[in-house]
């Protein structure tokens, strides 16, 4: 017994140290990645790049022979368009099913439901992209009589399906965290089920639900392969959901492989990476602050 | 019992991971040393030039290693111009060129190296223009294509081409293109628009030759370009006319070879003087069935047999 105790006093600090290292390492990785991405593009940013043109011009001609132009406005608009549409679809569906799972299900159905939703999250994005490129393309052409089905709508629906599982599972957790006392008190006052949800549960869980939505947005902004295939990959500021667009992520994925290392084009692609990193960082930061808000309550 | 088993499993995983970490770096360095000593014994052929041909040249080089392990071919891109400059300076053995050397370059090379550059056509590059099978259009001129694809081009509706495309209700021409650093993209742009003009913004830029044909087959309003080997039953290949009033030609091995199909070009290799030794052997292999099979695999047009026989006969007379 004494021997064993000694062994534990010896191993305890080692394990503690290892765990501490793991914790710190993720911070180092995040900053390391940002530093690397930014550093690859920094040379061009500080020398030749016209930052105003970079952010406000919709003309993206990275491989033109006569006149190279690096404007990412259309790409930002594409990312924003697809993400907004995805959220317009995913938020009602996601929050709706979170409420259903947490408030209206018998435990058995709840289990089955959660497994199926998690299965939805397990489908690889290439498969989603392929569905967009083939099935959804034809469907949209037929239903909307559009000239082409690779559009904001196509990408938005696919991204919505991809971010619904995140919204459901986090939304459901935050609804579950609302104490049963609230429900019982509301019921004692004679509230109907809908009134309980609308007047009591949603306000009580609003921080958690907001965090769920923000994480869904981060997922949608960062998605690459599915949008590359489903949105048509066309440099264009969308004016309707039936326009083709191109997103920031898809541009990097499509062009980085063949851009000569350290060329202007290569560096601009890394700057787009840094831009994306900044966008998702802020979305995650906001989500984090909101989640923290819940904990303090 | 189960816990014990799991523990055992875990420890095994940790141990094997540790072993992997320790072994992997040393394994790599050993391999590198091996490669270093091997390359000192090996003869290296320097092969540089055209970016369009860099994939093809790389594929040849990789395959040739298995055919003749004592020779390594070192491929680099940079463009036809860069390759020709290297030939003039005598720093390269074989230059890949997607255009013919012009007379001034020939003179310079002759003057500098004292040897006449030798030209070899090693394959052809031809692009087909695809539309949906329900589209009534059958032929198109290069100028029309330029107005459809070029920046500020005036054709945006199918009716502007004088056809009524009932399958496409919106009448809009949906442009399907390739991602901007693809060689196909560059060749098509140059064939249509020259070097000064760019494509229209808003083309759907797909990431593979096959994807272009696939999308055009599913989209009645679309037009796209891709290697002619990718045709399916859902698409139609357009006949292309060089200038209005001339005959339209379908892309095929023949029309690409005899120059009547306008969006095709020969792919060249140049050597400084008559090739000899391993360089000659490499070229001979490129003209063999094995080498020409790779041309086809990469998506270019292989040479007709009689042309190859002619070159092979000539190579036969040179010293090995």
pTM of the predicted protein model: 0.72
Q: β-strands B117-132, B235-237: how paired?
A: antiparallel
A:B CB pairs within 8 Å? 84
Per-residue pLDDT at B31: 41
CA diameter of chain A: 81
Give the best residue of B218, B223, B232 to mutate against chain A (max A CB count within 10 A): B218
DSSP 3-state assignment of A47? coil
Would the ipTM clear 0.85, i.e. be above it? Answer: no
State the Cα–Cα distance between residues B197 and B147, nearest whole angstrom. Answer: 11
State the Cα–Cα distance between residues B94 and B87, nearest whole angstrom. Answer: 8
Q: Running DSSP on this structure, what letter comes out for residue A70? A: E
What are the structure tokens assigned to A117, written together? 């939703």
Q: Under 8 Å CB-to-CB from B52, ≥6 apart: which residues?
A: B98, B125, B183, B186, B187, B267
Chain A residues in contact with B201 by the CB 8 A cut-off are: 58-60, 74, 234-236
Rounded to 5 degrees, φ, ψ at A84 are -60, -45
Q: Where are any strands of DSSP class E within B52-173?
A: 71-78, 94-97, 117-132, 139-141
Give the best residue of B156, B171, B201, B208 to mutate against chain A (max A CB count within 10 A): B201
Which residue has tokens 């489903």? A230
- Asked if residue B241 lies in contact with residue B141, where contact means CB atoms within 8 angstroms, the answer is yes
The contact set of A with B (CB < 8 A) is 58-67, 74, 133-134, 137-138, 141, 145-150, 228, 232-236, 244, 246, 254-255, 258-259, 265
Tens of pLDDT along chain B (320 residues) come to 444 445 454 555 444 544 444 444 444 444 444 444 444 456 899 998 877 788 889 999 999 999 999 999 999 877 777 788 888 888 899 999 877 888 888 898 999 888 999 999 999 888 899 999 999 999 999 999 999 999 889 999 999 998 888 888 888 899 999 877 666 788 889 889 988 889 998 899 887 778 888 889 988 899 999 887 778 899 999 999 988 888 899 888 778 878 788 888 888 999 999 998 899 999 999 999 999 999 888 778 888 888 899 999 999 888 77
Residue-wise pLDDT for B18-37, tens only, equals 444 444 444 444 444 444 44
Q: Where are any strands of DSSP class E within chain A?
A: 60-61, 69-70
Rounded to 5 degrees, φ, ψ at A61 are -125, 75
Per-residue pLDDT at B266: 83
Chain A residues in contact with B224 by the CB 8 A cut-off are: none
Percent of the residues in chain A that have a pLDDT greater than 70, as a whole number: 95
Angle (CA) B144-B146-B147 rounded to 5° is: 65
Chain A residues in contact with B205 by the CB 8 A cut-off are: 233-235, 246, 254
Rounded to the nearest 10°, the torsion over CA A282, A287, A292, A294 is 150
Q: Which of B197, B203, B218 sits opposite A234 (nearest CB)?
A: B203
Chain B residues in contact with A67 by the CB 8 A cut-off are: 198
H or E stretch at B176: strand B174-178
**Closest approach of B31 to chain A, Cα-based (Å):** 26
DSSP 3-state assignment of A66? coil
Residue-wise pLDDT for B37-77, tens only, equals 444 456 899 998 877 788 889 999 999 999 999 999 999 87
Per-residue pLDDT at A2: 56
């Amino acid at each position: 017994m004494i021997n064993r105790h000694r062994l534990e006093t010896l191993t305890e600090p080692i394990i503690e140290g290892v765990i501490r290292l793991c914790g710190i390492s993720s911070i180092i990785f995040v900053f390391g990645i940002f530093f690397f991405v930014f550093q690859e593009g920094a040379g061009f940013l500080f020398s030749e790049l016209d930052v105003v043109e970079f952010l406000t011009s919709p003309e993206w001609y990275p491989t033109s022979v006569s006149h190279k132009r690096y404007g990412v406005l259309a790409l930002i608009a594409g990312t924003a368009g697809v993400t907004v549409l995805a959220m317009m679809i995913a938020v009602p569906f996601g929050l709706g099913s979170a409420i259903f799972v947490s408030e209206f299900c018998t435990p058995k159905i709840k289990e089955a439901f959660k497994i199926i939703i998690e299965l939805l999250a397990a489908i690889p994005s290439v498969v989603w992209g392929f569905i967009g490129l083939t099935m959804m393309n034809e469907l949209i052409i037929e239903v909307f009589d559009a000239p082409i089905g690779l559009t904001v709508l196509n990408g938005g629906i696919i991204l919505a399906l991809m971010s619904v599982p995140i919204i459901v599972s986090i939304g459901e957790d935050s609804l579950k965290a609302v104490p049963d006392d609230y429900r019982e008190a509301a019921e004692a006052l004679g509230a109907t089920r809908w009134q309980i949800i609308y007047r009591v549960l949603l306000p009580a869980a609003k921080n958690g639900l907001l965090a769920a939505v923000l994480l869904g947005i981060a997922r949608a902004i960062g998605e690459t392969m599915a949008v590359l295939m489903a949105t048509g990959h066309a440099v264009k500021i969308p004016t309707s959901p039936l326009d083709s667009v191109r997103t920031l992520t898809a541009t990097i994925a499509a062009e980085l492989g063949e851009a000569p290392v350290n060329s202007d084009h290569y560096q601009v692609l890394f700057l787009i990476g840094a831009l994306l990193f900044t966008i998702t960082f802020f979305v995650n930061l906001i989500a984090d602050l909101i989640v923290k808000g819940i904990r303090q309550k | 019992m189960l816990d014990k088993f799991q523990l055992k499993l875990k420890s095994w995983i940790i141990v094997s991971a540790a072993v992997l970490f320790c072994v992997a770096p040393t394994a790599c360095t050993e391999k590198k040393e091996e490669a270093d000593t091997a390359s000192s014994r090996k003869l290296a052929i320097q092969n540089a030039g055209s970016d369009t041909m860099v994939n093809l040249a790389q594929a040849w080089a990789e395959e040739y290693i298995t055919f003749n392990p004592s020779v390594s071919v070192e491929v680099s891109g940079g463009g036809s111009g860069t390759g020709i400059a290297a030939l003039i300076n005598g720093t390269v053995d074989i230059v890949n060129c997607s255009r013919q050397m012009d007379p001034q370059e020939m003179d310079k090379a002759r003057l500098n190296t004292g040897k006449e550059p030798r030209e070899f056509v090693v394959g052809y590059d031809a692009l087909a223009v695809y539309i949906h099978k329900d589209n009534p259009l059958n032929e198109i001129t290069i100028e029309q294509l330029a107005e459809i694809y070029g920046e500020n081009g005036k054709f945006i509706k199918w009716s502007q081409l004088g056809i009524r495309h009932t399958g496409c209700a919106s009448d809009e021409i949906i442009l399907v293109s390739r991602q901007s650093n693809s060689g196909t993209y560059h060749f098509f742009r140059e064939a249509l628009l020259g070097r000064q003009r760019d494509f229209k913004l808003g083309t759907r830029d797909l990431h593979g030759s096959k994807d272009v044909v696939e999308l055009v087959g599913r989209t009645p309003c679309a037009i796209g370009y891709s290697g002619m080997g990718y045709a399916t039953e859902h698409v139609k290949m357009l006949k292309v006319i060089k200038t209005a009033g001339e005959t339209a030609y379908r892309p095929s091995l023949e029309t690409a070879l005899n120059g009547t199909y306008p969006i095709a070009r020969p792919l060249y290799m140049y050597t400084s003087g008559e090739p000899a030794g391993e360089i000659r052997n490499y070229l001979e292999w490129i003209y063999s069935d094995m080498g020409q099979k790779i041309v086809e695999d990469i998506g270019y047009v292989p040479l007709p047999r009689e042309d190859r026989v002619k070159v092979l006969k000539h190579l036969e007379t040179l010293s090995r």
